[in-house]
Amino acid sequence: MAKIRLTTAQALVRFLDNQYLSVDGVETKFVKGIFAIFGHGNVLGLGQALEQDSGDLVVYQGRNEQGMAHAAIGYAKQKLRREIIACTSSVGPGAANMITAAGTASANRIPLLLLPGDVFASRQPDPVLQQIEQSHDLSISTNDAFRAVSKYWDRVNRPEQLMTACINAMRVLTDPAETGAVTLCLPQDVQGEAYDYPDYFFHKRVHLVDRRLPTEAQLAMALKLMAGKRKPLIICGGGVKYSEAGEALCQFAERYQLPFAETQAGKGTIVSDHPLNVGGVGETGCLAANLLAKEADLVIGVGTRYTDFTTSSKWIFHNPDVSYININISNFDAYKLDAVQVVADAREALTTLNKRLAVQGFTSGWGEQVTQAQSRLLKETQRVYQAVYSHDGFVPEIDDHLDRDAVYAEFNRLTHSFLTQSSVLGTLNEHLPKDSVIVAAAGSLPGDLQRVWRTKDYNSYHVEYGYSCMGYEVGASLGVKLAEPQREVYTLVGDGSFMMLHSELVTSIQENARINVILFDNMTNGCINNLQMEHGMDSFTTEFRFRNAESGKLNGGFVPVDFAAIAAGYGCKTWRVTTLGELKQALEEVHQSSVSTLIDIKVLPKTMVHKYFSWWRVGGAQVSESARVDAVARMLNEHIEQARKY
């Protein structure tokens, strides 16, 4: 057996450079490269290894550890989990910055390989710079915080441990049922230690992703349940997209005239214009899907993890006879809502069910309801896209005891804008290139997008809502652009999220990977402001206001921010927009830019799209000094009683 003497870090780089994924006979290099921010905990170990010989791995320079990890998530998600970019940081705060991204990856079932530096395995220099010491357990470091948000976690305390750690890391990263964040902690002394590694550890390794077939017993249970149902509703989750099962779902739905709704992760698998696509469902669902959800007697969840936003806190399916069939590669997700489980690949399961139902002679009983719901959805979408403010009265989407005229007058005085968020979205939906990709995450925008955004091309809708991570947007957009450089990428982000994290704009310029940031500035954390006011509170520390000298509270005037100036300082091409005409002109000029861009759009608060026949269970106060809060508490209790318990 031949051996190669390498440091632990050098061996890790060589191993990663030889990992491949095979899906349906198509072989892909699995690890594209590594995002790095070097510090004392990794620069002389992993940094030296990458400088000496990075193979075909591309080394990217991050600006913020969380931001670069978001970029890696965006890349893997856009690549349908078939390619990844690893991330390395130093010890301590650099590593801790990636914990949020680890949670984002695991919640969304996206592969993310994190390689944080760690304190000395030998403990002899302890405590080293940035080391946290716990007097009750000296084995604990900052990196132990990754355990709660990682699907696999390991610490390589000896060079020979690297081999089992790497194999297990690949096992989880390439498993569609178990994938998420994988954290391999690398003590800084061990990174540089040498070992005689067997040469076979570095041979090309191809990880096969087989399409799991449904069992006969599972199919029999599903078919038996369907035989007695008249109004099934399919929910298209992210698993349909990752399985590339969109065509199979279409054939299944079309054959039996079954409407299908979408989750945030599933949207963009099938274009919005498909006659059976009734749009987003649940708390941020649209008019059509939520109307049909109330009557469905069978919900067929395909590749969905059933978040509370998808089920409207287990409340939206009102039919007393509703049942569930869950098609999912994950046994854990298939068991949710006490469903009949079909633990299988989405494409294979849908194809097989399609054939078996034909023999059974199944027919749907929806009749004209699907077409009617679609028609209502299109009319409603046009209504909100055309909603504008006028002094004669803007019909609010939110009923929240707000003195709109006073707020809007102040906003206009500072910005000279009366733009509404929904009309801006309508303009974007009409004017962005058909094959462009939009990226969004937390705030009010994901709700508006799921309700009224019309997707026109495959995999063009990239919204992170499994973790609802503010600050994901800009970094992820860079990852999407690296994954599909031929497509235009548009970041739809609120002012609150943008201020949390936008550092990878600089990396996008460095890499000549142009992204286009569309920033909605309403000087408010809008969706949370809506939440508190809908539940009887006044606006409290969710608007961006100066501290009032008299009251001592943050209820003075709005705090204006020139976001275009911020991005211009990074080297971006920027515009400041206060009318739809200016927006259209800016969108035309974006295509001529050679660098990343930012359009700073001033939009009136509370002009987003409101909910449609949905409910979200939140922890409201059961006792208060406010009659409004007490009234909401009574309503919450009524809805809790109506919600199903599983």
Q: What is the mean pLDDT of each run of 10 residues along the chain (646 residues)?
A: 96 98 98 98 98 98 98 98 98 97 98 98 94 94 98 98 98 98 98 98 97 97 96 98 98 97 98 97 97 97 97 95 97 97 98 94 93 96 90 48 82 93 97 97 96 97 97 98 98 97 98 98 92 89 94 94 97 97 97 96 93 91 90 88 84
Task: Let me know: does 85 contact 77? Beta carbons within 8 Å.
Answer: no
For the beta carbon of residue 168, count every other beta carbon within 10 angstroms: 15
Task: Let me know: does 181 contact 112? Beta carbons within 8 Å.
Answer: yes
* Main-chain phi, psi angles of 455, to 5 degrees: -75, 140
375 membership: H or E segment, kind and range: helix 369-385
Task: Let me know: does 492 contact 476? Beta carbons within 8 Å.
Answer: no
Could you tell me where the DSSP H helices lie in 432-562? 445-452, 472-483, 495-500, 504-510, 526-534
* Distances, alpha carbon 620 to alpha carbons 311, 537, 587, 616, in Å: 19, 10, 42, 11
Task: Let me know: does 239 contact 301? Beta carbons within 8 Å.
Answer: no
**Domains recognised in the chain with CATH numbers:** 3-208 (3.40.50.970), 216-377 (3.40.50.1220), 400-602 (3.40.50.970), 616-646 (no CATH)
Task: Let me know: does 490 contact 428? Beta carbons within 8 Å.
Answer: yes
Between vectors from CA 587 to CA 583 and to CA 591, what angle results, nearest 5°?
Answer: 160
The angle that helices 346-360 and 246-256 make with each other, rounded to 10 degrees, is 20
The pair of three-digit structure tokens given for residue 4, joined into one six-digit string: 């190669």
pLDDT reported for residue 394:
45
Distance CA 85, CA 220 (A): 41
- SS3 sequence, 40-91? CCCCCCHHHHHHHCCCCCEEEECCCHHHHHHHHHHHHHHCCCCCEEEEEECC
pLDDT reported for residue 398:
47
pLDDT reported for residue 396:
45
Distance CA 583, CA 575 (A): 9
Between vectors from CA 535 to CA 529 and to CA 536, what angle results, nearest 5°?
Answer: 95
* Main-chain phi, psi angles of 473, to 5 degrees: -60, -50
Longest CA–CA separation in the chain, Å = 84
pLDDT reported for residue 31:
98
With tokens 């191993």, the residue in question is 15
pLDDT reported for residue 395:
44
Task: Let me know: does 314 contact 324? Beta carbons within 8 Å.
Answer: no
pLDDT reported for residue 641:
87
Exposure of 131 by Cβ count < 10 A (0-12 exposed, 13-18 middle, 19+ buried)?
middle
